[in-house]
């Protein structure tokens, strides 16, 4: 990895900024994780969300996290892990990812779900029902940041693959935004 005058580390082969590749990997892992774990969220209030539309909304929220909050958290993880041995660095990333995405899940994801639940006349998610969702968020964040810390050096060499992954995540977030806007329009 080479470093420019502004101290932005880049892959020597592709020239892609390391942190951008990490954020894209975080977005991809969270997107896959949200698709797999969508039944957990849908089961919080059965009958409110169809499975795939909720997965699309979850993609919007997860990808938004990766590209907005994730950049700052990746920088934080890099700062904390900088002086550690290489083998310990992914653990710092994983812990930061777990804590941050658990908090994001509790405040943002469940907040949006509760907003929709209340609009359809249902009770918000109970604190007991929040636990599986928050634990799921922690696991997804842990996996996403761990993958970003460990896989980036290998995947960053493949510029076209990284660009395709970035485009796919943006399209998935756009789909989620459309689905959420349609839900909100129906709910008035």
Q: Is residue 137 within 8 Å of 45, Cβ to Cβ?
A: no
Report d(CA 137, CA 30) in Å as an integer.
9
Mean pLDDT of the chain, nearest integer: 92
The answer to whether residue 48 sits within a structural domain is no
The answer to whether residue 115 sits within a structural domain is yes
Short-list 26, 17, 19, CA closest to 169: 26
3-state secondary structure of 87: coil
The answer to whether residue 64 sits within a structural domain is no
The answer to whether residue 104 sits within a structural domain is yes
Short-list 10, 8, 111, CA closest to 61: 111
Look up the pTM and report it. 0.92
Residue 24 tokens read as 């894209």
The answer to whether residue 131 sits within a structural domain is yes
Short-list 132, 75, 62, 68, CA closest to 104: 62
Residues in the chain: 188
Please count the structural domains in the chain. 1
Contacts of 78 (CB under 8 A, 6+ apart): 19
Report d(CA 154, CA 137) in Å as an integer.
26
3-state secondary structure of 186: helix
The answer to whether residue 54 sits within a structural domain is no
Report d(CA 100, CA 49) in Å as an integer.
25
Q: What is the pLDDT along the chain (188 residues), one digit of tens a residue?
A: 444 445 667 767 767 899 999 999 999 999 999 999 999 999 998 889 999 999 999 999 999 999 999 999 999 999 988 888 889 999 999 999 999 999 999 999 999 999 999 999 999 998 898 999 999 999 999 999 999 999 999 999 999 999 999 999 999 999 999 999 999 999 87
Report d(CA 83, CA 106) in Å as an integer.
31
Domain region containing 176: 25-43+71-187
The answer to whether residue 8 sits within a structural domain is no
């Amino acid at each position: 990895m080479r470093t420019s005058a502004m101290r932005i580390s880049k892959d020597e082969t592709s020239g892609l900024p390391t942190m951008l590749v990490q954020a894209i990997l975080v977005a991809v892992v969270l997107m896959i994780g949200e698709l797999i774990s969508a039944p957990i969220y849908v089961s919080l209030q059965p009958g409110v969300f169809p499975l795939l539309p909720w997965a699309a909304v979850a993609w919007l929220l997860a990808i938004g996290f990766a590209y907005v909050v994730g950049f700052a958290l990746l920088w934080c993880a890099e700062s904390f892990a900088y002086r550690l041995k290489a083998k310990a660095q992914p653990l710092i990333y994983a812990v930061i990812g777990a804590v941050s995405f658990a908090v994001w899940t509790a405040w943002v994801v469940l907040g949006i779900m509760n907003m929709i639940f209340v609009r359809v006349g249902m009770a918000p998610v109970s604190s007991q029902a929040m636990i599986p969702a928050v634990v799921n968020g922690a696991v997804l964040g842990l996996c996403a940041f761990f993958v970003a810390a460990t896989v980036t050096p290998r995947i960053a060499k493949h510029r076209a693959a990284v660009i395709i992954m970035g485009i796919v995540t943006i399209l998935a977030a756009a789909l989620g935004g459309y689905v959420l806007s349609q839900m909100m329009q129906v709910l008035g």
